[in-house]
Amino acid sequence: MNEASVKRKMIASIKQHGGYARRIEDQFAVGVMDTILIPKGLPVFLAEVKLIRGSTFGPTPRQYIELMRVKDAADKYGHVIPVMIGYKDGNYYFHEAAEVIRQTDCFSITTTDVDFHDQLVKYYHYKKGTT
In the chain, domain spans: 3-108
Q: Please write the tens of the pLDDT for every residue from 73-126.
A: 988 788 999 999 999 999 999 999 999 999 999 999 877 788 999 999 999 999
Contacts of residues 87-91 at CB distance under 8 Å and 24 or more positions apart, as own/partner, are: 87/1, 87/3, 87/6, 87/49, 87/50, 87/51, 87/52, 88/51, 88/52, 88/53
Q: Please write the tens of the pLDDT for every residue from 6-54.
A: 999 999 999 999 999 999 877 777 778 899 999 999 999 999 999 999 9
Tell me which fold the domain 3-108 belongs to. Trna Endonuclease; Chain: A, domain 1 (3.40.1350)
